Amino acid sequence: MTTTNFAEQWKSMMQNAFLPTSAISATLGDNARHFWEMQDKILDNMQALSNGWFERRHTGTHSACEAAERMCGTNTMVDVIQAYQDWSRGVYDRLMADTLACQRQIIAVAGGFASPPLAPSVSEKEAELARSQTKAPARSKTA
């Protein structure tokens, strides 16, 4: 007499039904690896961005301290204004550096997500152009 273990049969059936084929497994593995490589790249870029930001903040505090010392040690108002202008020019330069660093970060991150399949094919572009040319002009509600 054969004994049937329904739990084992169920487990085997579910594994066979839901385990991916080797081709799907390879694709899933490639996608997972690409995802985590992108995460690593994003982290590297964010670290570079934040390190640069901290360096610029340190430079800013040092130049502010130097400007304050120069302003307090001058004898004329012209020298005070000159020291202030020198400091404010550095502030502007650091602000622009922050802006450029953020733009580079956005481009670097966005570049990893854009891929050729996201761009419409030539036939899709031609079909869209044909649809846009055959549309009737909109009528005015007042006419």
Is residue 22 included in any domain, yes or no? no
Contact 84, 13 (CB under 8 A): no
Is residue 10 included in any domain, yes or no? no
Residue 87's pLDDT is: 92
User: Could you tell me how many residues make up the chain?
Assistant: 143
Instruction: Dump pLDDT digits (tens) for 38-82.
Output: 999 889 988 988 999 999 999 999 999 999 999 999 889 999 999
Is residue 110 included in any domain, yes or no? no
Amino acid (1-letter code) at residue 125 = K
More confident residue, 1 or 125: 125
The CA-CA-CA angle for residues 62, 58, 53, to 5°, reads 145
Is residue 92 included in any domain, yes or no? yes
- Residue 93: C-alpha distances to residues 61, 79, 104, 142 (Å): 14, 21, 16, 55
Span 23-37, average pLDDT: 86
Tokens of 87: 């400091």
Residues spanned by the domain of 70: 41-103
More confident residue, 9 or 2: 9
Domains held by the chain: number: 1
Is residue 1 included in any domain, yes or no? no
| Torsion on CA atoms 31, 37, 43, 46, rounded to nearest 10 | -90
Question: Please, which residues have CB within 8 angstroms of residue 92's CB and are 6 or more apart in sequence?
Answer: none
The region of weakest confidence among 7-11, 17-21, 51-55, 138-142 is 138-142
Is residue 143 included in any domain, yes or no? no
Is residue 69 included in any domain, yes or no? yes
Instruction: Dump pLDDT digits (tens) for 87-129.
Output: 999 999 999 998 998 888 888 777 665 544 445 556 666 766 7
